Structure 1
Amino acid sequence: ACAVLITMREFHTSHECELSCAEFWALRLDEGFDKHIAQYDGQVFNMVWIDHFDDPANGEKMVKRRVRLTFKENPVPKALRGMLKDPDFAFHVDAKWYHKLYDEPHAMVYSLQLPVFSDRALRASLSCRRRA
């Protein structure tokens, strides 16, 4: 018999924001904001697909999308790009979240597929809460 143990690391961070939760969460629905952040990071934001739908469990509006991020200047030397599955060295981000719910039980969940280890994904969540 063979047993496989997969260890996941878990990190928690907290950041204060001058916006209200509703204002901050509205930015998640603004593609222009995502393009701005990508540009700031030296990346190019490409929407692969997006779907808006109602959650059958509670009727709340949700978003599900896939984004492809590439670097403005590819950091991989040209001689090595052929060794990669994706010579553009692109990141893929799959995300799902509610339009207007942003607390921890309704957090945005996303996975980041790295260009080097495409068989692995980083999974994370994002939520918002008011300061105490």
Structure 2
Amino acid sequence: MYSERMNDGIERDPEQYFRRYNPKYPERGGAKKHRSGETPTERKAALTAQRERWEKLHNAHIDRHLPKTTLLEASRNHRAKISMKSLAEQGIDRQAAAKMTPSESAAMHRKAAADRAAQQAIDSIRAF
């Protein structure tokens, strides 16, 4: 997980950690944000730089650890490598996929788990 909050060594539960920072009594408030004194332009530039670093790190990891044949197979099904460029900037002529909400993602994972359990049950019955 990425967080703009700095670890100041004060023990906080998650609810308090993300509360508003209290400069007078830091132990009563949340953790201070790292970029709290920057302008919106500076914060946007920092976010862009962070995304670029993540893109390079992720893609270097894919190149190093995913065999080339697997990379070719993966690229047919989904993009193993990532790019911070828009689809248009990449020369890809399609609509961006709709973002999944947390509840949609959870439902998809529950369905996949149920499908796996059903397949295991079928396989165990066939084994008899």
TM-score, structure 2 as length reference:
0.20
Higher strand share: 1
Greater Cα radius of gyration, structure 1 or 2: 2
Higher helix share: 2
Structure number with the bigger relative contact order (C-alpha 8 A, sep ≥ 6) is 1
